[in-house]
Structure 1
Amino acid sequence: MMVRLRVSFPDRPGALGQVARVLGTLGADILQVTVLERQTGRAVDDFTVSWPGTVDADTVRERLSAVPGIRVEAVWPTREIPGSAPDYDLLKHVATDPGRAFATLVDAVPDLVSAEWAVTVDSGTGELVHRSWQAPSSLDGAGGLAGVKAADLTPLRPATLDAGRYRLMSLPIPDTHLHLILARTEGSSFHRAEMDRAIRIVEVVSIIGR
């Protein structure tokens, strides 16, 4: 089972090694470490790890948090395969068939930022234009985002939003009337580093699909 852990720890020599040692004692195989931020004396990293069985998130939190200065922000399953290049694969498919650029984007982009699903929304009508296979058929009602205002889902600038059980990211697609919305129900809110990666992908896809 592959899991992502978002861990905050003091930005000092040896702190990363402490995290790695604790994960090793739990039987985790660290596949990838992604640096999200380094500021104010602390670091925030995402660890993609593999466990031979089911992960007890509470045990992971307890063992890591026992080390002074280490804080576990989130633990959640991930489908992102370390060492792969899903962003390049996405752009290759978009370039091969520019007419389906935004449909391809919606299908592939969730795996780039450990999201569960994605949709594009018409910012004028609020209607879904494209959706990935796990996305709800509507953003209203059961399984949707009831109670969330349309203006919150289609902001003028890239934004993140926590709405009930959902962690959301909304990105306006340049030169279109569409917004890309990504969602996950497990894990931490989308980090600025994840948003920056998604923004760059959306900008390139917009140019190709124009």
Structure 2
Amino acid sequence: MHAKKDNLPSSILASIRSRKKRLDPAYTETRPRSVGTLIASYNVHKCVGTDRRFDPERTSRVIHEIGADVIALQEADTRFGERTGILDLGRLERETGLIPVPVAGMAKAHGWHGNVVLFKKGMVHDVHQVKLPGLEPRGALVAEIELEQGGVLRIIAAHFGLLRHNRAQQARMLVELINDRREMPTILLGDLNEWRLGDRSSLNTFQ
């Protein structure tokens, strides 16, 4: 009796097995990275993937794979009503060490207008919830975080609107907000919905 042969080349089989391993929820191995602070942003689109499938578990695995020290999420809550949070933040903290920056007055939501800031090993000194101008319900979450490895960062997590003039208004509002606060390293994260370059881009406001 002859042993059954694989019909696919060994390199393809190895790739498939590796992918299955990465997608296994029990797979917790992380890739080593250089020393430093990894800061990331991720629009989770209410945990609906490009395959139009609602899968919070898959979204959590992606966040785990990123391995950030600080990460801003957009669209992490339902859009209307009480804006109920979609992710299992307790499990995410247990598996990744990421904890959410606390926001006031949002009993069921993860963050503010769908914006969530998660961080590892540090202390939050100040949090501001900013309602951005425009026709759509948009917001920004501003947090000053003292990281365990040293230094304080101001994180601005924002989700800009789809209309160009609204994005310009939102950018100006954030610049004014920064100018009114004490100087410190500040990082703007989020989905700014800006595809234009040149004079028409709302990003010119930050120059």
> Is TM (by shorter chain) over 0.5?
no
Higher strand share: 1
Q: Which has the higher contact order (CA 8 A, sep 6+)?
A: 1
Q: Who wins on radius of gyration, i.e. which is larger?
A: 2
Q: TM-score, normalised by structure 2?
A: 0.28
